[in-house]
Structure 1
Amino acid sequence: MASFIHFNPEARDYTYSAPNGAEGGTAESTVLAFHRALPSYNETTLHTLPPLAASLELSHVLVKDESDRFGLPAFKILGASWAVYRAVLTALDQVGPDEWDGMTAAAATTRMSVDDLGSAARDRGLRIVTSTEGNCGRAVARMAKYLGLPVRVFVPEYMSEATRQKIRGEGAEVLVVRGSYEDTIPVIREEAEEREGSVLVLDVGLEGYEEVPKYFVEGYSSMLAESEKQVPQLTGGKPATHAIVPCGAGSVAQAVVQHYKGAERQRQHGRAMVMAVEATTAASLKASLEAGEPTDVPTADTIMNGMNCGTLSTLAWPILSQGADASVVVTDLESHSAVEEMKSSGIRAGPCGAATLAALRRVCADTRARSELALGPESIVVLHCTEGARDYPIPT
């Protein structure tokens, strides 16, 4: 790999405008109200790391810690719960996609309670089908459990048995597909088409399938709404100037770009830069930015397995291509070192979450990157640590 950083200077002037003129703050308040009504809602911690910030000559380094979200070790339940809720409502003909535009938070979250939705869905014989590399499938299964619906989760053969067992622990049926995550997609789409009552729930946009992935992106806005409130409490009232987020297929990176580059956010807090982190084994965003078009890449084993996606979401690409300021690629060894560094600061991160710290160290060690990304003594950087600690083979 010739370079581990690809800069996207056009993103500096990008402003995200929500479809149909819907303001980002209104949409975020709707989703946050929904999450607050679910069992065991918790606002996750935003840590501050003053020694790290000082060593990197930055104002603040903050870590949004998603290691315990609704009792699960990752942020995915935010997107999965909202996506399943809306997908099942739609399957029951309770609401059409356009009906949500402009709907207030109160109206949206009282449309039908989770209990009532589950009862109606069971009466219709609905079931959820999904595919996953780990955290997303478990999160979808948890929401299906809230609704009392059966769920089938298709997984690639390289997924560890321990991860499969955690998904089964949510009441899901786990089915193994030979090959990579990408190989599960045609299998699951056929399953959903052929079996009556199947509701397909995926967090990646595909040709002819973009409505439900959009709900995942919307669901992640609760994390960002929380963070926006928490940052000034730790910085003397100042907002974030930079955000670093894992990429993978692109859905959470899309959510972060839409938030920080949103018109309303810019009016209130100014423009922030967004860096997307990728593993060396699956740098599809970097390849796509370099090519100027969506570009698939071959994948290989990595401890950052939640980011091991060789194909970008069709929904994410238009946003990332315009609004991501850089793709930063990190190695397994760098990610592992970041896991250990976060652990020493009391943060229980997994390799995908800690990759954001690895990316920060990489760009701060590069003089050109610091300049291109405007990283300096006034910078307030939020690292989105998307998963908690888990077992993985230690790289050498």
Structure 2
Amino acid sequence: MITNPGRDPRWVSRPAPPEVLAFHRALPGYSPTPLVPLMNGVLVKDESSRLGLPAFKALGASWAVHRALPDVTGGPATIVTATDGNHGRAVAHFARRFGRRAEIFVPDGVHPDAVRAIRDEGATVVHVPGDYDTAVKAAASVRRGLLVQDTAWPGYEEIPGWIVDGYSTLFAEIDTQLSRQPDLVLVPAGVGSLLQAALAHYRSRPDPARTRVVSVEPSTAACVAASVAAGHPVTVPTARTTMAGLNCGTVSTLAWPLIRPGLDGCCVVTDAEVSEAAHRLAAAGIDAGPCGAAPLAALPAIPTTGTVVLLATEGTAANPAGPATSRATAPPLRASPSARSHGQHRTHD
């Protein structure tokens, strides 16, 4: 684990708006996702089924679409976004729920089952030759639609901020389920937007230093860890990983102001470690895709005492290209320019 030298235990964050939780509670089909005991004070927040979808992304997409639509009354009838999986499916799902069409831009390499799941939500899928950043640029260029992108750049920050606020419901549920603050929370981090939501929550509590928050990233795309070590946002080269939603090379400018003073440390994990962790979770009855299994893979590297919460952010249905399930029985539990030239940043997808 890399300890954050910029951590300021006196720093206090602004909390997410309280109306976010009330909004989610009023949605048809809402119920808190389980907080499952795993072993010796370790609990897993299981996001494999969230508002009819297999990932936590439903929380951010639903709140952002809800907030954005009143601003375009009589305006665009189509909601537009780019995705490599979970975010696009969530946007399509809630566009349909709120009576709007959705047009989802996908880059090369998105698994056909993920594309099919987006189409099954009633969305139009547009394939963009190239990478994720190219797909975002294409979505942002659409004039006839409302862009609901989990990506921020100068001049486009309000809606990505609403997406982050939407994730606050996950942490409010943990408060109720535990009746106290956990001692340690492990958060999968792409560019850091779910991490941003975690820090906003725990650093706005009555005892803001009570809960340690640690990020978990692929060893092939550890932009948060590299930025924390450098003391400022940096871009790292990325390579293919089963943790597709965490395959990000640049930390978010929206998240960094919270990461620098608020994050306790960073861990990196390999695909092999995550595959083993996913099978361990499956043996315990918890359905977790690669991103969701990353916190368990990181756990052995982190000194732990008290109550530990692992955020299992996705089920296997959210990542068709995840690790194979034919593995033998697992052992027992124990900054370069991006597509918009300056400052495009992904959230965990």
TM-score of the pair, normalised by structure 2: 0.88
Conserved 8 A contact 1:284-1:309: yes
What's the offset of the Cα at 1:342? 0.5
Give matches, 1:22-33, under 5 Å. 24=15, 27-28=17-18, 30-33=19-22
Indicate the residue corresponding to 2:314 in structure 1. Answer: 387
1:71 correspondence with 2:52: yes
Question: 1:282 corresponds to which letter in structure 2?
Answer: A
1:78 and 1:352 map into 2 onto residues whose CA distance is 17
- The structure with the largest alpha-carbon Rg is 1
Matched, 1:209 2:156: yes
Match of 1:343 in 2: 282
- The number of residue pairs the alignment matches comes to 323
Q: Which residue number in structure 2 is paired with residue 160 of structure 1?
A: 111
| Counterpart for residue 223 of structure 1 | 170
| Matching residue of 2:232 | 293
Deviation for aligned residue 1:324: 1.2
One-letter amino acid matched to 1:384: L
Question: SS in structure 1 opposite 2:42?
Answer: strand
Which one of the candidate residues 12, 25, 39 is aligned to 1:36? Answer: 25
Q: Say whether 1:304 aligns with 2:300.
A: no
Distance in 2 (alpha carbons) for counterparts of 1:326 and 1:178: 37
* Contact 2:85–2:110, Cα closer than 8 Å, also in 1: yes
Q: Secondary structure at the match of 2:210?
A: coil
Give the whole-Å Cα distance in 2 for the aligned partners of 1:151 and 1:177. 16
The whole-number CA distance in structure 1 between the counterparts of 2:100 and 2:47 is 26
- Whether the 8 Å contact between 1:74 and 1:386 is mirrored in structure 2 is yes
2:13 and 2:158 map into 1 onto residues whose CA distance is: 18
Q: Summarize the alignment of residues 233-312 of structure 1 with structure 2, pairs less than 5 Å apart.
A: 238-262=180-204, 264-266=205-207, 271-312=210-251
The one-letter code matched in structure 2 to 1:306 is G
Residue aligned with 2:152, SS: coil
Aligned residue for 1:324? 263
- Once the two structures are superposed, the pairs formed by residues 39-54 of structure 1 within 5 Å of their partners are 39-50=28-39, 53=40
- Match for residue 146 of structure 2 among 199, 218, 229: 199
Deviation of 1:6 after TM superposition, in Å, equals 2.1
Distance (whole Å) between structure 1 residues aligned to residue 214 and residue 63 of structure 2: 25
* 2:104 is aligned with 1:175: no
Asked whether the equivalents of residues 204 and 249 of structure 1 are also in contact (C-alpha less than 8 Å), the reply is no
Pick the aligned partner of 2:61 from 49, 70, 80: 80
Higher relative helix content: 1
**Which residue matches 1:7?**
3
Shift of 1:345: 0.8
Structure 1 contact 134–163 (Cα < 8 Å) conserved: yes
What SS does structure 1 have at the residue aligned with 2:103?
A: strand
Amino acid at match of 1:340: H
Unmatched segments (≥5 aa) in structure 1: 19-23, 54-59, 93-122, 233-237, 364-369
Question: How far apart are the structure 2 equivalents of 1:149 and 1:14?
Answer: 44
1:115-154 to structure 2, matched below 5 A, reads 123-154=74-105
Are residues 219 and 394 of structure 1, via their aligned partners in 2, closer, same or farther at CA, if it must alter by over 3 Å? closer
Seq. identity, %: 45
Secondary structure of the equivalent of 1:314?
Answer: coil
User: Residue in 2 aligned with 1:107?
Assistant: none
DSSP-derived class of the 1:311 partner? coil
> Matched residues in 1 for 2:60 and 2:29: separation?
16
1:367 matched residue in structure 2: none
Indicate how the Cα distance of structure 1 residues 327 and 14 shifts in structure 2: closer, same or farther if over 3 A, else same.
farther
Q: Where does residue 13 of structure 2 map in the other structure?
A: 17
Q: Indicate the RMSD between aligned Cα atoms, in angstroms.
A: 1.8
Contact kept in structure 1, 2:167 and 2:194, CA below 8 Å: yes
How far apart are the structure 2 equivalents of 1:47 and 1:12?
31
Deviations 1:184-210 (A, max 9, x none): 22222222xxx23x2111122222211
Change (3 A) 1:143 1:61: same
1:234-261 Cα deviation digits (max 9, x unpaired) = xxxx530111111112111100111111
1:386, 1:255 → 2: CA distance? 13
Instruction: Give the CA deviation at 1:14.
Output: 4.6
Q: CA deviation at 1:290?
A: 2.1
Change (3 A) 1:392 1:289: same
**Further displaced range: 178-187 or 212-221:** 178-187
The yes-or-no answer on 1:89 pairing with 2:70 is yes
Per the alignment, in what secondary structure is the counterpart of residue 11 of structure 1? coil
- Separation in 2, partners of 1:393, 1:213: 26
CA offset at residue 219 of structure 1?
Answer: 0.5
Distance 2:168 2:94 in 1: 18
2:206 and 2:110 map into 1 onto residues whose CA distance is 39
Name the TM-score, length of structure 1 as normaliser. 0.78
Letter in 2 for 1:392: A
